[in-house]
Amino acid sequence: MQSVDFTSVDFAKRLKRLLKNPTTIEEQYVNKKGKLAYGKATLLRFSKLLAHLSGKATIGFYTCESNGYANLLAWDIDERFTEVRAEVIRSLKRRKWGRGSFLTTGSDPGRGKVILCINPRIPQAVANRIAREIYDEVVAAFADTLCPLRLTSPHKKFEYRPSEGTGGILRIMGRKLRLDGSDAPLEQALDLNGDPSDLKYVKPVTIPYAQNETESTQKQSRNWIERRLKSPFTGNRKDAYSCISGFAYEALKKTKDVEDAEVMVTGWCGMMADLCGRDDAKKQFMNEREIRKAVQYAKDNPPRKRTAKADAGPRPEPLSKKSIANSRACRPYQALAEFVEAKRLNPHCFGKDYASLAALAGYSDGSAASKSADVAENFGVLFRLHQGARHQAGSEGTPTLWCLRCEGETLQAAYDDGIKADRFREYVENLGPARFRLVGGKKIRCSPEPVPDVLPAAA
């Protein structure tokens, strides 16, 4: 049995990569009511990850990003870990996904988790369906034995991630907080044989799926809304926004009219507000402006249809962190690159507002994100194709249009490709020309068309 240092920098880097390089986490604490809770979403610093692995802090990772794509699949087992994990592993191996899986121990011998690492990310709905299928297979396997799976509280003692709602928070390794102040054991990573592992063997698996899922997926969507509207909501403000975003996409499946979709989502959100256990989440569900923004975003960014033709050509690879020497330029670039990869957008032309960029990159507000974007643009790793339009009374505004330089290309080449995109042409037609353009690698201010001294005579 090998000895593994789970607190080392090398192990932390490997775990972070396998979890799809999460950018935000929530830290666990004991609230005023004396219960364990997670705080606000904060930027994941590498030092915080090391503190978590050494037991000096306790953090939870998002199983899904706010854009609706899953980072991983997991099964959280709180009773009979050895028996239950064996069935989960069998289900994974039947799908030939064993090489992408690993285990973690829990706060006592009867607890633990099974983690499946994936690449690339997959839509949350697909991840939820697969996680539930394996969950059902495990429960069914025990039903056919002399010792069926009878858990004290099934919905809490054996769970799967991501769930139907937001995907939630999952603590992976580290040390569980205890209300009595005592120290729980530091948790370990294990291979599928149950031996401590440095996880070097883990190779994330690619999960195929059809975007145009048939009647079963549509039925699942309807059931998700029904279940969501009957279940208490214990998430925070960010979880509430993710739920609103899910409602927006579901509403637009039922109607193509934005105003009708807003009415649907507002009704669902009103019901969710009554189910909220936290005031910040309740306020989010009652925020009409956030509902309008979510519906408009869902309208402007429909789910991408995966086709053999679309996936035939190689996608441009974003610049690596090592190739961006300026850390302040790297931060917004990497956040945008993660967003583009998850949504499978054109890296040379895509929209993103500064408030959303701030949330992705961990800035305090949109102004701080804008200033760092200035640094990245001056450093030559990105360019803002069009400034968009500010939010005004009666208008939600239009997000900034971005262009990222990728591996093996110049910023000028990326820019030249970006301005050929239909979305850029739509911006120019609806909002007017961009304030700046890139010529010979240099940022040039676009001069407004001169007004003639003498107006032409009327015809």
Query: Taking residues 206-219, what's their average pLDDT?
Result: 59
What confidence score (pLDDT) does residue 302 get? 72
Greater confidence, 145 or 370? Answer: 370
Question: If DSSP codes are grouped into helix, strand and coil, which group holds residue 37?
Answer: strand
Question: What rounded mean pLDDT belongs to the chain?
Answer: 83
What confidence score (pLDDT) does residue 235 get? 74
What confidence score (pLDDT) does residue 307 get? 43
Greater confidence, 117 or 448? Answer: 117
Tens digit of each residue's pLDDT (9 = 90 or more) over 262-285: 888 888 888 888 888 788 888 889
Cα separations (Å) of 359 from 60, 227, 356, 367, 404? 17, 28, 5, 12, 19
Q: Is the pLDDT of residue 113 over 60?
A: yes
Greater confidence, 92 or 300? Answer: 92
Query: Taking residues 426-439, what's their average pLDDT?
Result: 89
**Could you tell me the pLDDT band of residue 342, with boundaries at 50, 70 and 90?**
confident
**Could you tell me the pLDDT band of residue 449, with boundaries at 50, 70 and 90?**
very low
Closest CA to 62 of 111, 11, 22: 22
What confidence score (pLDDT) does residue 87 get? 93
Q: Is the pLDDT of residue 347 over 80?
A: yes
**Could you tell me the pLDDT band of residue 13, with boundaries at 50, 70 and 90?**
very high
Tens digit of each residue's pLDDT (9 = 90 or more) over 35-67: 888 887 777 889 999 999 999 999 999 888 655
Domain ranges of the chain: 9-190, 232-300, 315-445
What confidence score (pLDDT) does residue 453 get? 44
Cα separations (Å) of 57 from 36, 60, 89, 108, 173? 13, 10, 30, 19, 11
Query: Taking residues 405-416, what's their average pLDDT?
Result: 93
Tokens of 106: 């829990």
Greater confidence, 225 or 445? Answer: 445
CB contact at 8 A, 396 and 293: yes
What confidence score (pLDDT) does residue 338 get? 86
Greater confidence, 145 or 97? Answer: 97
Query: Taking residues 211-228, what's their average pLDDT?
Result: 54
What confidence score (pLDDT) does residue 454 get? 44
| Share of residues in the chain with pLDDT > 90 (%) | 37
Burial 211-249 (b: 16+ CB within 10 A, else e): eebeeebeeebeebbeebeeeebebbbbbbbbbbbbbbb
How do beta strands 101-105 and 42-43 pair? unpaired
What confidence score (pLDDT) does residue 377 get? 96
Q: Which helix (H) or strand (E) holds 194?
A: none
Tens digit of each residue's pLDDT (9 = 90 or more) over 286-331: 888 889 888 888 887 776 554 444 444 556 788 888 888 888 999 9
Residues 45 and 57: their CA atoms lie apart, in Å, by: 12
Tens digit of each residue's pLDDT (9 = 90 or more) over 367-408: 899 999 999 999 999 999 999 887 655 556 788 999 999 998
What confidence score (pLDDT) does residue 288 get? 87
What confidence score (pLDDT) does residue 148 get? 61
The listed CATH number (3.60.40.10, 3.90.920.20, 2.40.50.100, 3.30.110.70) that belongs to domain 9-190: 3.90.920.20
Q: Is the pLDDT of residue 251 over 80?
A: yes
What dihedral angle (degrees, nearest 10) is formed by the CA atoms of 450, 452, 455, 459?
Answer: -70
Q: Is the pLDDT of residue 82 over 70?
A: yes
Residues 419 and 313: their CA atoms lie apart, in Å, by: 20
